[in-house]
Structures are given as C-alpha cells and as structure tokens.
Structure 1
Amino acid sequence: MTPAPRSTSIHPGEPLLPNPLRYPKRPFRSMSRGVKRMQPRRAAPDGRRGRGDALPEALVVQITGTDPDGDALARPAAWDKTAGPPPLIHMAPEPRGRPALVPGERVLARLKRIGAGRYEGRTMHRLAEVPGRILGVFRPGHPTARIVPTDRRAKAEWVVPPGEENSAEGGEIVLAEPLPHHRLGLKPARVIERLGNMGDARSVSLIAIHTHDIPEDFPETALAEAARARATRLGRRTDLRGIPLVTIDGEDARDFDDAVFAAADGDGFRLIVAIADVAHYVRPGSALDLAARNRGNSVYFPDRVVPMLPEALSNGWCSLKPMEDRGCLFVEMRIDARGRKLSHSLGRGLMRSAARLTYEQVQQAHERSDELELPLPALYGAFRALLAAREARGTLDLDLPERKVVLDEDGRVASVSPRPRLDSHRLIEEFMILANVAAAEELERHHHPCMYRIHAPPSDEKIEALRSLLATFGIRLAAGKEPHPRDLDRIRRKVAGTPEAPLVNEMLLRSQSQAAYSPDNIGHFGLALARYAHFTSPIRRYADLLVHRSLIRCLKLGKDGVTGEETKHLPDTAEHITATERRAQLAEREAIDR
C-alpha cells in the first residue's frame, strides 16, 4: 500500500497553535482568537438550525464514510452531541497520487458552505493524533529500547525507558501508552501488553484491529444481557419445524444466520428463506444494541472473527444449529420458471434446521445426483430460474476472486490461494438477493422507513475515464447515454479468458461507486434492482437487524420493533454503519496484504 503523506500530531478539536520556538510572543493572543473562531459553534438552545450550524473556514474534521460516488464524508471532530446532529461535510477528492481519505482519519480542512447544514471540505493537512495508545514493533537497544509504530502514517519512533519494557522481546508487537515528557527528542512510552511476534500471522490481525480501532471487548453489561438469553418459544410464531430447512455455509463457519428450502410449485418453485431472529434478543437501546451499533458489523481475519454480537448469541442462541429450535424471521416466495417473483409473504417463526451443510458438500452431492436425503434438485432448479431472471435484468457480475489464507499450528501462513467459486455459493447468493428484495418491497408497500442498500450509477467523469481506457484496448463503450449494468457486463464477457481480462475487470471495478446504506432509496445499479435492503445477515450486520425491527413493527409481529427514536436517527446510523463497513474492509485487506 502507498504510505500516507507526512502528518502532524494534534489532539482533535484543540487549538491549532504554532511552534513557540519559531514565533515571538506578541502574535499569540491574536492567533488564539483565530483558533477559537475555528471551533464549531453550538446549536441554538431551542434546537433550531441557523447560526448554530455555522462552521469556521478551517476546522479539524473526522472522516465518517463515503457518499454513493465513493467521495469521503466528514463531520466536525469536536462536536457537542447536545447541540443536535452535526453538519455534513462533503470532502473533495484527494489530488492524484495521494491515498484516499479513510473512515476514522482526521484532517484539517478548508470549508465552504453549500447549503443548510452542508459544507464542502478540502484537505489542508492530514493529521496523526497524539495517541492514547501506540501499536508497534519492539526493538531492544542501549541505553533505551524503541517502538516502531505499525501505523504507516506515524513519522516518529518512541523510546522505552529502562524498567518500562514489560519483558518485551525484540520483534514482538506491543501495545504501549505515552509517558509524560517535557524535553525535546523522541517521546517516551511504556509497554502495557505484548501481542506476539511480527512473523506470526495472528499478530498481523491484531495490528489491523488496533490500527483501525475495531472494538474487541464487549461491555460487561452487554455480556450479562447475552448470558441471560434463553431459547425462543413458539407462542404466536408460525411453526416451521416440519419443513426441512438447511443451512449452507463455509466449512469454518460458526454463525449460521440463514436457512433455505425449495419445492416445485406448478411450473415454478416455492422458496422459503429463514433468518435468525436477532431482534428477539437484541432490543432497541439495550447494552447489546449499543455495542452492536458501535461495531456495525463483524470483521473477519484469517485467524479470528471480531463479532458484532457476543458468542453466546452469534454462535449460540441466534445461530441456526441443526436439530435445535430457533426463532426466525422468514420470507416465503413463489417464482415462475423464469425466476420472476410472483408473490411473497413474511412472518416470524420457529424453525429447526434439518442439516448443517457446506458449499463443497452441496456441490459434490449435486454433481453426483446424491440428494443427501434432502431436496437438492428443487434448490438447484430454483437457482437456475433465478439465474435466468438475473440474466434478463442485466446485472454486472465482476465475480472477483477472494483469497483464502490458511495458517499452520504455529500461526504462520501455510498457503494463500483463490477461494473456489462454486454454483452452491451462487445458489445461496441468489436466494438471499430475492429475500432482500422482498423485505425492501414489503417495507415500501407499508410506507415504512427502510435502511436501503444503495449503489449509485457511475458518475459521468468515471464513465468518460473508463471509455477512454477501454478505447486503448479497441473496446467501444457507446457514448451519449448512461450505461446499463448489462453494457458493462457485456464488456466483461467479451474479454473473459484473454490476457487483458484482469486489467479490464479492474477498470470496470474502479468505475463503480461504492455501495452504502441509506434511508433514501436510489436503487442498486450493480444488481439492476429498483429497491434493495440487507435482511439476511443480522448476526453480523447491524443494517439487517434494523430491517428486521422495521418489519416487526410494520407487520405487527411483536413489541420489539423499530422505535421512533431509531427511525429519527436512521440517516446518522446509515452514515455510521457505512463507515464501519469501510473500516472492516480496510482492516481485512491489510491483514491479508501484510
């Protein structure tokens, strides 16, 4: 990865004072007045926007996420929450050759007001904070040891005074905290935790976790709530225990949050997708809810998972384990022979998974015509119909390979290889997409707020850049109209199997905006869908939990539906969980790339 530019240490929101060794004393008073003018003003006491959201021309801001075009969004780094929602700052793209701004990063920005509560920001300086903790590699030395930060943006090492090493050994990853100091030179730090050797892949995951401030430990109150969880009773739920629903996941999966069933139905198929009823256990405003929202999603590393929910729920009461009763939200759908959805209905049920299957098992059984005592032909028949519907819609299927990292017993990388892409993977994806569409349509039909999964079309600038690059390969992308996903997929198919394919696929990927969460629907360009939401993974995504709560409320399925307060803050929540998703993607990628 390209290292970030040199940065300056600063506490966010504190006065930006110059070096006292370089300036005479007289200008300090006027400069401090100027700095005060850079602090955000508080909102009016009655909560009305007016002068209350006015921001100074220059301000330290924190990147919180991205807009549909992939450009960074920010808010003031120091903002009093009692003053109401912070103004939204749209950051201009970074100059060519400089890394993009990432969620969590803080910069000194020049601001220009572009509307009520909205600003355009341009980076003046990227800031490295004076940390409350330091993650780095321990280097013994005489007379003092040093810590070399793992954060590539950090510009200086730290010295470890004698007696503050905590028995750390050379090459170990350590967590340290700054010590007070009043002299020039490198700053001192104390080792507070030893995390393992730099050559250990498990340490690489810890680096990513600490670098991106991914919460690892749950509050005791959240753990206590999870420990009190008990089995779900039938009550007023629909009894699905007689239906042979099965889970199909990776071999190493532990949290099973979706199960599927299919049967022939005239010329088409009847499908059921059952999803873990996380909303039953994670109530709005509870300690579990606050912890889950803070995390936004689970994060997956080669050697560990940082879950959104405590294991008592994620691998326990919420996981759809075989032959155990579990609460669920389900959607029953009927499709015709061409994969078009004819009808759907949603409900709250009690299910019992008939089997825990892996993708490899299902693929092999299908190829051998071995039914595993389960109706696999119907599942694959419905899958082929759904593929026909996808083809008719004209989606963009880049299908980029994922990497699988295998560790040995000592935590070292044993192998890195592309993950196989099987029809069984695509089968589950198509079932989940259809269920997600049904959830979004149901909420829209009831005029109920929904946390949509949106994907904007590529911007005109990106399409022009793509058109120019494709021309160098002799590939024509018609001008004068906004391309449909099928136009881009046609190009992908044209180059498939050629030496140019990897580069063209990369160009197509870079032309796309980033998918995001929003309560305002603009459709999903890549999937060629008018409405779409995430409904099928509430164990590992907070967005799905919100969609479950919305369905519970609008369909009157219980008293644990979405609250008015949650609905009011959907825009802020959308921004937050989009940012945590970006954070997870960056951390996961860094752990593999290292």
Structure 2
Amino acid sequence: MNQELFQERKNMIYNFICDELYVPMKAKEMAVVLGVPKGQRKELQEVLQVLLEEGKIDISSKGKYTKSEGKFLTGTFTAHQRGFGFVTVEGEDEDIFIPESKVNGALHQDVVQVSVEDGRSGKRREGAITKIISRGMTQVVCTYEQSKNFGFAVPDNPKFGKDIFIPLERSKGAISGHKVVVELTSYGKHGKKPEGKVVEIIGHINDPGTDIMSIVRGYDLPVEFSDKILRQAQNVSNEVSEADMAGRMDIRDWQTVTIDGEDAKDLDDAITLTMDGENYKLGVHIADVSNYVQERSALDVEALKRGTSVYLVDRVIPMLPHKLSNGICSLNAGENRLALSCIMTIDKKGNVIDHTIAETVVKVDRRMSYTSVKKILEEHDEAECREYEELIPMFERMKELAAILRKKRMKRGSIDFDFPETKIILDEKGKPIDIKPYDRNVATKIIEDFMLIANETVAQDFFWQELPFVYRTHDNPDPEKIQKLSTFINNFGYSIHINQDEVHPKELQKLLMKIDGTPEEALISRLTLRSMKQAKYSIMSTGHFGLATSYYCHFTSPIRRYPDLQIHRIIKETLRGRMNEKRIEHYNAILPEVAKHSSEMERRADEAERETDKLKKVEYMSTHIGEVFEGVISGVTEWGFYVELPNTVEGLVHVTSLRDDFYHYQESTYEMVGEVTNKRYKLGQSVKVRLVGTDRVMRTIDFHVVTDEDETSQEKDAAEEQVLSEE
C-alpha cells in the first residue's frame, strides 16, 4: 500500500473511532461494519497498530478499540539503574522523565506509550508509561548464578534492573560465574521475575577476553563474517591490474607517504605535498574501496549493516573483512593502489583556490608513523632524520601548511577541545598494565588538518552541484544550555555574545582561548562541551557548528565508515558522467536511511568503546586500592561528584562519604555545598582522593576525599609502623 493511500485509510478509521455514535468494537467487528473484504483485513490491522503506536487510540483487555483520552506520545524508554527512566520521542529535543512509580513494568529499550503531564515552567517534562508497545531487548548478556533446582542470571547492563529466572533444563549446562546470553521468554508481570533460557555461553568470568566479549555481545556487535562474505572478499584480486588502472590519473611518481599509528594496518589515506610557485599543492589520496565493494553485493549489505569499524581496547571489529581492509584497500608502501584523490591548490592564507577530484593510481614511497614524524619535526632526531632524509623537505612543508590551515580555521571560529584520549596498555592476557593520556602531537595534527580540508572541499563541491550526498552535520547548541553556560561563566568574569538565542562558534572559541591556563579552564571547557549537540550524518548540508563551516562530509575513511564508502560511489558516478535522473532518484530514496542508520551505528560503537575502556580502567585501578591521587572534579550530581585523574580514569565520591557536613547539590553553580560549614566542591576544582573500592560488574570506581587531617594521621601511622619494624 502506498504512503498516501495508507494515510487516507488511517484518517478514515481514526475519524470513524472518534465519531460520537461509535461504540467500542474489535477489529473483526469493525471490518464487518466498514465492509472491509477478508483479503484486506491485514491492512486494517496494520492501520490500527499504527494508530495505537501514535497514542491516538487505545485497546482494552478484551481487544476493543477506543479513542485515546489525554496527551499520549510514543517513544523509546531508557531505564536508569536507580529505577526511574526517560522516554525519547523521535523529532523532539527533550526527553520525558519517568519516575520509578510510573515505569509500570517497562524495561530498558522498550517502545512505550507515555502520558505527559503539564510541565511546570522551566522544569523537565514528566510522564507515566501507560502501555508497552513492543519489547526492546529480547536477549541480555548476564552472569549466571546456579542454585540447587534452578539458576538465575544477573544482567551486565544495570539499566535492565532485574535478575532473570532460568529453569534448570534451560541453563545449557551453565555454571556459576559463566557469562551467558539469555533469551527472554517472559518479561515478568505482577511482581514476578522475568524468565529466560541460556542460548550461548560466552566463557567463564575469569577467562581472558570473556569480559570484552560480553560487552561485544551486549551491544550486539557482529564479530564474524559469513562464509558467503568471506568468499566474496577472497575472490578479490591481490594485485591492481592494468585494466583497473585504465583511464585513471597516474600519480605513482609523486612523492607519497602514509602517516598513521604504529599498530595501524588499514591505511586508507596517503598524502602528497609540493609547491606550485607560492602556493601549496596538497593531495589527499583515499583508498578506492568502492572499486572492490559493489553496491548491493553481500559485502556491501554487511558493511551497511555494521556502519562502522569498532575500535575496542583489545581488538578491532572491522566493517570489511581483513582481506580487503589490510590488503588491496590498504595503501601499503611500494604497492600500486587505486585511490580517489582530492588535489587542492592552497594559497599562503589557507584558501583553497583550485581543486580536482579524480580517480587515481598511487604508489606510496614510505609508511610513516606519528612517532617518526614527531621525532623528525620536533626532536630533530639524528637517526630518524638520516633514515627519512629525502622526505624531510616535504614534512617541513606539511608542518607549515597545517599551521596555516589551523590558523584559518581558528580565525573563522572552529572550536578545538583538547581533551586527551585514553591509551590503555594491555599485557598478552588482556590485563591492563598502564593507562595514560594519548596526546596529539605535530604529526597527528598534520593528518587531522589535511583530512579536514579534504572533507570540507569535497562537501562544498557536491553541495553546489546539487546532487544527493551524505553530509556530516553538527547542529547549533540548544539555546537554553547556552544561556545557562553564559549565566554561569559570568561568575568568573567571562561573557559570550548571544544573538537571538544563537551563539556563533567563534564566541565559544574565544571563551576557550581566554580561559587557557586559568584555574577554571577544566570546569568551563567541560561545560562548553556539554552544551554542544552530537554530530550526525544527514542528507542536508545544515553546517558543522564545531568546525564553523557550512559544508562538511566524511570522505577520508571508506575502509572503516560506511558514509565515506557511499559518497565515493556518488563521486565516481558523477566523474564518469553516469549521474542521470534514474541514479539521482535511486540515491534520494536510499540516502536518508543510510544517514540515519550510520549515525545510530556510530553511537553504538562509541558506547561499546567507552564501556570496554571503563571496564579496563576499573580492572587497572583495582590493583591500586588505598592509594591517594590528585584529580579534578569532572561532574556534580545530587548523589555526589565525579573526579577525573590525569590518566583519564574517573571515579565517584559519594555524598554519603562526605562526613564532615550534610551536603546538597546546587544545580545553578554545579556544586556540592555543606549546610553548616558552607564548604564547596565544584566542577573543575582540584581535589585529593583515596581509592577505596572498585566494582567490575557495575564498572564503577569509588573515591573518598582526602583532607589535610587524613594525611597527617596517615603519616603518623606510617611513622609508627616504621618505628615498630625497626624495633
């Protein structure tokens, strides 16, 4: 049934139910009254289901349909481990808060109908779940616990919130301590526990790798490729043939390098840089993955499903099989490779005054690492300089051009948050042996700047061609959050100019520059970051707020991101003159779903990466209990405040552990304030803490604040112990 006809029937049935003469009836009775032929009754059922999901009609326990009373919305329920939750309604910016008493049996990720209460001015909307439309989680990763005549499974995801009863005959032989995947057979009603059956035993909780694999299964990340896909990958040639190179721009004689991390295996971008008079000629050459992954092939369907490669602490779950990503699609040194190149002429001010996008053949001269390039450009390491002598002039030009591009970006207002990423070092058994911040250096910044300008140039080119495309967009911040930020920073003597509820990125960039090196830098940087929205993929070029540009896309990583692969196809069809009306229609039809799905898969990957990092941080810190650390308060809530250590580990100081006073949370200033002492713990403040406990199941770290008196008594105890040991 087409969309127009469906909408027409939906309106007709809704009006029928709303009629004052209508009496509640079942679908069968309705079909008789309306004269719906037997062959079309399935369509009637579909219409009724959609009206139910939209909250326009209700169904009684006897299956009779009536018009809904009150304001109902449909959304996805996100549970909190403390019992309450939030409902996210598509197309609405603000979630609806659901108190614990009004959850009414809904579980994490369920699609629910919610009645919304009239919100008080300035307060978050509240509601009650009135109906569970569909269950979100059918399988749950758990730790199995065995009893004499039955078992029960404790979900890893604390948001699920309930243990699951497992009849002994459905345990698949699991024993206490096994990580298992449980399929739910009953969701539990009237105070009863949910029931389920074990469908997979991942491994014992103490076995190496089981912890990460449990997270992988919990996020439903696909690990293995099917035989069909592997066969398709296997059939791809290992060499670039003469036929493949025909008609392409041959730039194999250009001095070309890749610059990546030491352990990178999928090298999808290479760089060339020469001078054209006063101007720079920068080539960003990206592996032509679309040459090997044909649209609608099994490889393509799987790549779209995955959406992105996932980089976990101990493994990579690739979007494409290694045969491709580490082989023919990797720009390995000394090998002929097919690429899609964006070759830009850039003047001394950083303006792209000319550019060419072309299908090319490249041959990388050297595979460089960030460490090597840093040694050459910053440390002038003699051995490294001798090894790569012929490339040094190009590296010097790269450093120069990257600085020009960065300066131009900063001038227009691009915001650069320099929070360090985490590098977790594991031993061969997967145990964390060190955690340190992974800082950007001159080499990482060169690649970052060159990829940004290529992505921007390609996006702008295709925007003005008015062709279907996938853009990377970043919406303006929420006016309310920016207003709160503005009010808060006034306390420190800073201000940002807000024009008609909107802020220009330059204002936030200027603010970050003003606070650089000040005691309040950590605090204000975090609040500024939290006021921002998340970037996403879109078919509309609505601009990228954080980069302060009207045009941006992801063009540079088709090995590991599906949107890049998708736009490579569009670019190549356009270059080959094949972008006719039929193809435009095709892309207009598929791209909205590609953008939406890719954004969702990116969120899933980010969450899984965060969870595995959190897990390994907890495991690492569990060997440091009792030690004292210096940290910064990174978050404040009514139940306490979070402290981040220099190695990026974050833990909670629970409000109940602050025994010197009764503390309460002051939302307007992001502080915990003592009622008697007026002592304050606020966002961004430096604080000394002792690690008192870790919980690997909940992935939490607990700190206590260390006072001067604590330290004095600790020193006294240590001195006494020393005296006793000497005696």
Regarding TM over 0.5, the answer is yes
Q: Report if aligned partners of 2:98, 2:127 keep a CA contact under 8 Å in 1.
A: no
Counterpart of 1:533 in structure 2: which amino acid? C
Does the 8 A contact of 2:111 with 2:135 survive in 1? no
C-alpha displacement of 1:190: 4.2
Pick from 585, 589, 593 the counterpart of residue 606 of structure 2: 585
**Deviation of 1:527 (Å):** 0.7
Counterpart Cα distance in 2 of 1:585 and 1:344 = 34
Q: Percent identity?
A: 32
CA contact (8 A) 1:301 1:591 kept: yes
Structure 1 residues 72, 477: CA separation in 2 closer, same or farther (over 3 Å shift)?
farther
Superposition CA RMSD, Å: 3.7
CA shift in 2, pair 1:110/1:134, >3 Å: closer
Out of 365, 385, 396, the position equivalent to 1:377 is 396
Residue 20 of structure 1 corresponds to: none
Which moves more between the two structures, 579-588 or 555-564? 555-564
Name the structure 2 match of 1:566: 587
Contact 2:468-2:584 within 8 A present in 1 as well: no
- Structure-1 separation of matches of 2:289 and 2:317: 17
Q: Does the 8 Å contact 2:538/2:592 carry over to 1?
A: yes
Q: Please give the alpha-carbon distance, in whole angstroms, between the structure 2 residues aligned to 1:565 and 1:111.
A: 40
Q: Measure, in 2, the Cα distance between the counterparts of 1:123 and 1:255.
A: 48
- Structure 2 counterpart of 1:314, one-letter code: S
**Matched position secondary structure for 2:275:** strand
Residue in 1 aligned with 2:103?
none
Q: Which has the larger share of helix?
A: 2
Q: Give the direction of change, closer, same or farther, for the CA distance of 1:338–1:456 in structure 2 (3 Å limit).
A: same
Summarize the Cα distance change of 1:472–1:95 in structure 2 as closer, same or farther, 3 Å threshold.
farther
Q: Secondary structure at the match of 2:221?
A: coil
Match in the other structure for 1:543: 563
Q: Which has the higher contact order (CA 8 A, sep 6+)?
A: 1
Task: Report the counterpart of residue 326 of structure 1 in structure 2.
Answer: 337
- What CA distance in whole angstroms lies between the structure 2 residues aligned with 1:492 and 1:97? 37
Matched, 1:202 2:204: no
Match of 1:474 among 485, 490, 493: 493
Instruction: Classify the secondary structure of the residue corresponding to 1:373.
Output: helix
Q: 1:360 and 2:366 equivalent?
A: no
Name structure 2 gaps, 5 residues minimum. 1-22, 32-39, 57-71, 79-85, 101-107, 117-124, 616-727
Q: Which one has a bigger Cα radius of gyration?
A: 2
Letter in 2 for 1:139: E
**1:229 equivalent in alignment to 2:240:** no
Establish whether residue 137 from structure 1 lines up as the match of residue 148 from structure 2. Answer: no
Could you say if the C-alpha distance between residues 442 and 325 of structure 1 is closer, same or farther in structure 2, counting changes exceeding 3 Å?
A: same
Structure 2 counterpart of 1:405, one-letter code: I
Q: Deviations over 1:339-388 (max 9, x none)?
A: 11111101111112212211111111112442453221122122122122
After superposition, give the CA deviation of every residue in 1:223-258 in whole Å (9 maximum; x if it has no partner): 222121113331111112112221111122121111
Matched residues in 1 for 2:497 and 2:315: separation? 46
3-state SS in 1 of match to 2:159? coil
- Deviation sequence 1:39-59 (CA, Å, 0-9, x none): xxxx9999xxx9998644357
Residue 150 of structure 1 corresponds to which residue in structure 2? 156
- Answer whether contact 2:88 2:95 (CA < 8 A) is retained: no
Distance in 1, Cα, partners of 2:479 & 2:268: 39
Deviation sequence 1:381-427 (CA, Å, 0-9, x none): 22122122223222111122111111111111222211121111111
Matched residue, 1:260: 271
Q: Residue 454 of structure 1 contacts residue 522 of structure 1 at CA under 8 Å; is this kept in 2? A: yes
SS in 2 for 1:521: coil
Distance 1:558 1:196, change over 3 A: farther
* Change in 2 beyond 3 A, CA 1:540/1:473: same
Give the letter for the 1:107 counterpart: V
Deviation track 1:503-553 (CA, whole Å, cap 9, x = no partner) reads: 211100011111111111111111111111110001111111111111111
Q: CA deviation at 1:72?
A: 9.0
Match of 1:26?
none
Q: Is 1:419 the counterpart of 2:442 in the alignment?
A: no
Normalising by structure 1, report the TM-score. 0.79
1:283 is aligned to 294
Relative to structure 1, the CA distance from residue 124 to residue 590 in structure 2 (aligned partners, 3 Å threshold; closer, same or farther) is farther
User: How far apart are the structure 2 equivalents of 1:192 and 1:516?
Assistant: 35
Single out whichever of 232-241 and 189-198 deviates more from structure 2: 189-198
> Letter of the aligned partner of 1:105 in structure 2?
Q
Which residue identity is paired with 1:568? Answer: A
Aligned residues: 525
Residue 576 of structure 1 corresponds to: 597
Note the residue ranges of structure 1 that are not aligned, 5 or more in a row.
1-28, 38-42, 65-70, 75-87, 99-103, 113-120
With over 3 angstroms needed to count, the CA separation of the structure-2 counterparts of 1:458 and 1:226, relative to structure 1, is same
In the alignment, which of 310, 317, 321 is matched to residue 306 of structure 1?
317
In 2, Cα distance between equivalents of 1:139 and 1:245: 57
Residue 354 of structure 2 corresponds to: 343
Q: Quick one: distance in 2 between partners of 1:330 and 1:44?
A: 55
Among 508, 519, 537, the residue aligned to 1:499: 519
Using the size of structure 2 for normalisation, the TM-score is 0.66
Match of 2:249 among 223, 227, 238: 238
Change (3 A) 1:97 1:162: closer
Write the distance in 2 (CA, Å) between the matches of 1:122 and 1:435.
Answer: 45
1:88-132 deviation line (CA, Å, top 9, x unaligned)? 65364233999xxxxx933313499xxxxxxxx997449794754
Q: How many angstroms apart in 2 are the aligned matches of 1:311 and 1:569?
A: 27
2:419 counterpart residue number: 400
Q: Cα distance 1:237–1:130, how it changes in 2: closer, same or farther (>3 A)? A: closer
- 1:106 counterpart (86, 110, 119): 110
Say if 1:275 and 1:330, in contact at 8 Å, map to a contact too. yes
Q: 1:562 Cα deviation (Å)?
A: 6.5
Return closer, same or farther for 1:407/1:372 CA change in 2, 3 Å cut-off: farther
Secondary structure of the residue aligned to 2:92 is strand
CA distance in 2, matches of 1:354, 1:507: 45
398 and 72 in structure 1: CA distance in 2 versus 1, 3 angstrom threshold: farther
**1:263-293 CA distances to partner (integer Å, 9 max, x unpaired)?**
2222221111000111111111111111111
CA contact (8 A) 1:108 1:123 kept: no
Residue in structure 2 matched with residue 449 of structure 1 by the alignment: 468
| In the alignment, structure 1 residue 250 sits paired with structure 2 residue 261 | yes
SS in 2 for 1:215: coil
Q: What letter corresponds to residue 228 of structure 1 in structure 2?
A: N
Cα 1:530–1:72 shift into 2, 3 Å: farther
Residues 14-70 of structure 1: CA deviation (Å, up to 9, x unaligned): xxxxxxxxxxxxxxx969779x99xxxxx9999xxx999864435765599xxxxxx
Q: Which segment is superposed worse, 468-477 or 196-205?
A: 196-205
Contact 1:255-1:319 at 8 Å conserved across structures: yes
Q: Against the structure 1 CA distance between its residues 61 and 566, is the aligned structure 2 distance closer, same or farther, given a 3 Å change threshold? A: farther
Partner of 1:390: 409
